[in-house]
Amino acid sequence: LLEYKHILASKKEDKDKVRAEIDAAKATFDDILSRDMSMNDIEQLATVKALWQKCAAFDDIILDTSDLGNASVAYNIINGDSQKSYDAMSDAIDALVAAELQKGRDASDAGNVTYKKVTNFTILVIGGSILFGIIMATLIIISISRPLAQLQRKLNDLAQNGGDLTQSINIKSKDEIGS
């Protein structure tokens, strides 16, 4: 669009202003392409850079032709070879973006798999801990209740035998109940 604006500008100062806008846009795009990108497909990126150089060269030709007052020639360049270059660059950028999006989806899927594994492992550990706690609580309850039940049986036997308190009750445990 800026190229058309340049061609349509009638004053030199307007053309210079548009050229400055185009140069700023080109510098921005050059800066983006020169950044250290984390793309694995260097070949696709190199293709985009080469096509961009071709498009930038066409821009220079179009602007120079427009500066010389040859608007119809500039329009023909825009609608001909320049358009083909921009279309090829656009297709290359689309392919590069599609490849990077797929890599992003693949990384996301791998993260989801890892998340599921960690979640399952966590559930297993929590379930195992609960089971271990139940087993330990059961063992503690049994270790306390058996000697008490044995003591209760012995006391019932004593009561049924006339309450003879001279008999001893032997309970083997290493706590307050046993001897």
pLDDT digits (tens, 9 = 90+) for 15-68: 999 999 999 999 998 888 777 666 567 788 888 889 999 999 999 999 999 998
pTM: 0.60
Three-state SS for 172? coil
Judged by DSSP in three states, 167 sits in coil
- Concatenated DSSP letters of 85-137: HHHHHHHHHHHHHHHHHHHHHHHHHHHHHHHHHHHHHHHHHHHHHHHHHHHHH
Are the CB atoms for 57 and 22 separated by under 8 Å? no
| Choice among 1-5, 51-55, 79-83, 166-170 with the minimum mean pLDDT | 166-170
